[in-house]
Amino acid sequence: MSRPENNRIVHEPPIFTDFKPVGVKGISLEQVQLSLDEFEAFRLADHLGLSHEEASEEMEISRPTFSRLIEKARTKIADFIINGKVLNIDGGNIHFRNNIIKCQSCGHMFRMKFNETITECPACHSKNILNLAGGFGHGKCCNHQNRGGNYAKK
């Protein structure tokens, strides 16, 4: 019996979660599922340019585990691009460090910590706001699970 996976730390929920080739109906395409931890590995290594060691510390996982995650992520992203599939980002054993809130009225997006509470958009004062981490089933659990980390802001 394999040991259970530990939760991996993801900086914040992705703003966009579904991608497909232009001009083709998504329903006719195969799907590639990229987990949130694979997305985070890809973001840290290929977008922010962190080393495997730095990125593994940020995600609070071992370097070999990070290396496996980034290889899986790159393989899936290559499959999506080369074979023209739908890419969906979702799932995985994760906890977010931060959250993104989007106002459904004006479109304003803002980042916040989980211990902060907001009930209206700071830009237009609408109460029609969307919690992006909540869309992945996360929220208060992430506030209790995070241990800090040494995230370098972009």
Range(s) of the chain covered by CATH 2.20.28? 97-146
Q: What number is the average pLDDT over the span 126-139?
A: 85
**pTM, full prediction:** 0.83
The residue that leads in pLDDT, 146 or 28, is 28
- CATH number for the segment(s) 97-146: 2.20.28
| HEC letters along the chain | CCCCCCCEEECCCCCCCEECCCCCCHHHCCEEEECHHHHHHHHHHHHCCCCHHHHHHHHCCCHHHHHHHHHHHHHHHHHHHHHCCEEEECCCCEEECEEEEEECCCCCEEEEECCCCCCCCCCCCCCCEEECCHHHCCCHHHHHHCCCCCCCCC
78-107 residue pLDDT tens: 999 999 999 999 988 899 999 999 999 999
